[in-house]
Structure 1
């Protein structure tokens, strides 16, 4: 799974793959599912001391974590555009000041 991808797509693909494979126990499924998770999800799973006993529990938890991650990314977008907007305004005013100073120097004296 790609680092910025959605866990829901990974879960869909994983379930599809597992449906074609026989003889995998719950622990093997959990192990293989975890191996494909992005580090941002694995990092959030690591501090939890409780042991996850079923693949479905792990999928539910990772889906919640991923949903919150993407919500937070959306929340950050307006913050980033505000920051970029003020930076652009500062750059423009700086450029305009330089242009005015240049024009003052270029005026012919009468």
Structure 2
């Protein structure tokens, strides 16, 4: 009876499920990225305006826009192949943030100019 309990306990472990560790890592990285993005939007708003109220409103507006876009994005994702969309999303993200990094690494932006 001890062997049956040990086997069922092993099957209950999420870490033993195929691809769970990869999903967990990707989901955690996505959540961390979303949090950093929200912080970066507020910091950029503060750098441009110098006002904490404006930075807060900008962060709020960005999150509202994200929620509204999520409604339409959800239906779009349900109608198309997800793996292709994930690859496209990753490629667009790399190109976008690579461009931002390239511009900022050339000292074309500063906190007072904010990549203008």
Scaled by the length of structure 1, what TM-score is found? Answer: 0.34
Max Rg structure? 1
Higher fraction of helix: 2
Scaled by the length of structure 2, what TM-score is found? Answer: 0.33
Quick one: higher RCO (CA 8 Å, sep 6+), 1 or 2? 1
